Structure 1
Amino acid sequence: MVRFILVVCLLLCLLPATGCKTPEELNNIGIVVAVALDRDAASGDILVTSEVIRPAALDKKGARNQEVVDIVTGRGSTIFEAVRNTTQILDRINFYAHTKVIIVDETLAKEGLTPLLDFFVRGRQLRGYTLLCIAKQGQAKDILNVKTGVDVIPAIYLRDTIKNTKYNNKAVVSSVVDYYRDFLKEGNCSVLGVVEVAPSEESGSGDKQKTGAEQVKSSGAAVFKKDRLAGYLDETETQGLNWLVKELPNGMVTLPSRLEPGKLISLEIESSKTSIKPEYREGKLCFVIQVDTELTLVEQQGKKKILAPKAMLDYLGGVREDAEREIGDSISRTILKTQNEFDCDVVGFASALKQKEPAIWRTVADNWEEVFPTVDHELHVQVHIVGTALKQGFF
């Protein structure tokens, strides 16, 4: 009941403040669309970097060739002090009701995330759906300094890049509310998205080849034990996590081709459903995982064709087996890493146990961090190939 009340209070705090501002107030605010939080290694200060919209630059009648955003950094002993200190160099007061994403660097994330968010949540401006992610191998403010993508506002480019994980299932998307929901959930650990600055692929040809500008890449997941960064899941492990905790509406699976060595095939996820059932076996807790997914074969490298219907059915049967093995390996790899390296349940075992065996959960709830690394899992993956998406006579 106490946790329920805390969640309700949090959600109420994250609701946008009501009421209209006067024109004088509107002229004094700076609309912040992205925030980066860093620890300055030299002074120990907290750095708050804000991406602030320039309204005149978005006006078609306004000045041309003007930057659409200002990047402003304030420093202080607390988040509030750093934010207020930006008024020394910016002619506006930061306003967070339209913030799309908050990025936190690794150093601050390892110290504890919840105290950093207190100012934003307590201030009642920030929306709960604001994305929250970790900057890997670099400062968070470096992410805001990347100006690329199609959208003229870098924060929109950043937000949409993070949300594009639904097309590849190699990363996670998490909001402020998602973080607090997982943080307050008994027995559960939080997972946040990860972004990093990566060089663009080289463009051009021959002697004229040149390196493009830097870009932001959304890849993998950050695992939090309580509210401190414990480590990362790579792309394969993040795919395994997404199979466990999400009903994937999209994404992909890439496999070696059975037709030609060295070639690959790609399958698109059409739908996916996962169930986790706890059982006691010989006095030991075991979680039975059932994954049912539908895939479409969308790409086949190589030139070899299959014309006979029987050969086609046999081939698709082999693809199905390969996909089941690939999915199962990524899931098991994720479970074992979270058990052996993090001692941290991000895969949903605690939730399944509380829901389906509440009596058993009550006996292990107080020491779940010690129990989780010792539990077994049994995995069943069932793949259905529902289409080949190929022209007649080509395959």
Structure 2
Amino acid sequence: MIFRWKAVLMFAFMVILTSGCAGKTEINDLGLVMAVGLDKGKEEGTIQVTAQVARPADARGQTGAPSGQTGEPIWSSTATGDSIFTAIRHLGKHSSRRIYWAHNFVIVINEDLAKEGIADILDFFTRNHQLRMRTLVVVTPDPASKLVSTITGLEVVPGQAIKDLFQYSSITMAAPKTEMIDLQSAYLSDSTHPVLARLSLEEHGISNKKPTAKANIKQIELVGTGVFKNDKLIGTIGPEDTKGLLFFLENVKSGAVAAQCPSNPDKFMTVELRYQKFDATPTYKDNQVGFDVKLKSSVQVVEAGCPFSLKDRQQVKELETQIEENLKGKIEKIVHLAQKEYKVDFLELGKVFNNRFPAEWKKIVPNWEDEFTKAKISVEADVQIKSSVLLYQPTQSGKKNEGY
């Protein structure tokens, strides 16, 4: 009897140990998607999906491909269907591996498709249990299939290259960093409308094997912002105007601003934004919505095309005033675009108002778009030059001859 119980317990123990392998999938059976591109299909009402799949053995940067390998770090393929899901299933007809989305870096949407609406795209990728909500979402004027299939930059996997572009987007200030969770939040919001970064293929790269005076290798570049009303793309904002937008949406860490030399208007200086404090304070008086927008920034002189010293307070004040007008102008420009041109709140000001005046917000939220376009928004900028990095005196030639 004791032996029989021991046998039963041993059998149960073995079942517990082996049950973890049930339904297992070998990694060699998976096609790990690094980026996905979405375009309109050739036939009306269809969508084209391009999956960029990593080839792990060839993504190590090998210059010569061993037997059975191509030397290409990615494998890209397209399929078309009536929906994203059916298109992905069609990918399986010619893919020897099961498409797996958990490692996807970015979703690239062509602007023609985005103009028709991205609600179905948002619904599919938020339902997909494999997809991470931290996946980047961008739009492009180029074919998305081409952008996700082009090997550019320092990374051998294009999806990785696109992701890494956004590591320093808070410094370049060329495009917002929007992840799937941000897109879904803005879409479901009762006031905020989504914005997505714009990417395009631009000729910047120079061949090392055939150097030329002109760049002829296309690189993926951040080129501004796509503005949505609900789920439809309604316009774009260039990189220069995007700088004003990012103060509202992100914690801007740095940026470059050029200004005329106080002593010589024909020459220029460049300062770097170092520490920013940005506030949009809502007001509500006589049933009028308003916002007092204030930016305080400490800057450093990083390039002087003319003699300049922090000891000359008059020069310092003139330079600070120029930079203040520059930054104020960028913020006022993006406010104008939001209120008067696109007439949608992509600045998240409705969220700010709700936090300060929740009771009043309940009354005006049904007509927020109208209230937003009529809101009085004042802008102030306060800039202080804290240092000139390592140089406190102007850089001057040590030569005494006039010709130097």
Tell me the TM-score normalised to structure 1 length: 0.87
Matched, 1:118 2:123: yes
Shift of 1:387: 1.2
Residues 331-359 of structure 1, C-alpha deviations (whole Å, 9 max, x = no match): 11101111112110012221121011122
Assess if the C-alpha contact under 8 Å between 2:37 and 2:49 holds in 1.
Answer: yes
Residues 80-132 of structure 1, C-alpha deviations (whole Å, 9 max, x = no match): 11111112222111101000011001122112212113222212101111110
What SS is found at the alignment partner of 2:265?
coil
Shift of 1:210: 4.2
Aligned pair in 2 of structure 1 residues 329, 86: CA closer, same or farther (>3 Å)? same
Residues 255-300 of structure 1, C-alpha deviations (whole Å, 9 max, x = no match): 2332333322221121212111222355532211111111111111
Assess if the C-alpha contact under 8 Å between 2:273 and 2:300 holds in 1.
Answer: yes
Aligned pair in 2 of structure 1 residues 203, 393: CA closer, same or farther (>3 Å)? farther
Q: Which has the larger radius of gyration?
A: 2
Shift of 1:212: 2.1
Matched, 1:169 2:173: yes
Amino acid at match of 2:307: K
Aligned pair in 2 of structure 1 residues 272, 306: CA closer, same or farther (>3 Å)? closer
Distance 2:268 2:23 in 1: 60
Aligned pair in 2 of structure 1 residues 123, 284: CA closer, same or farther (>3 Å)? closer
Aligned pair in 2 of structure 1 residues 392, 384: CA closer, same or farther (>3 Å)? closer
Distance 1:77 1:56 in 2: 34
Of all paired residues, the percent bearing the same amino acid is: 26
Instruction: Tell me what 1:40 maps to.
Output: 41
Aligned pair in 2 of structure 1 residues 331, 212: CA closer, same or farther (>3 Å)? same
Shift of 1:369: 1.2
- For structure 1, the 5+ residue unaligned runs are 1-18
Distance 1:21 1:210 in 2: 57
What SS is found at the alignment partner of 1:55?
coil
Assess if the C-alpha contact under 8 Å between 2:133 and 2:181 holds in 1.
Answer: yes
Amino acid at match of 1:279: T
Residues 33-75 of structure 1, C-alpha deviations (whole Å, 9 max, x = no match): 0000000244542110011011221467972761010011111
Assess if the C-alpha contact under 8 Å between 1:245 and 1:274 holds in 2.
Answer: no
Give the alignment of 1:1-395 within 5 angstroms: 24-58=25-59, 63=66, 66-136=71-141, 138-200=142-204, 209-281=213-285, 283-301=287-305, 304-306=306-308, 309=311, 312-395=312-395
Tell me the TM-score normalised to structure 2 length: 0.85
Distance 1:21 1:291 in 2: 58
- For structure 2, the 5+ residue unaligned runs are 1-19, 396-404
Distance 1:274 1:307 in 2: 28
Aligned pair in 2 of structure 1 residues 292, 313: CA closer, same or farther (>3 Å)? same
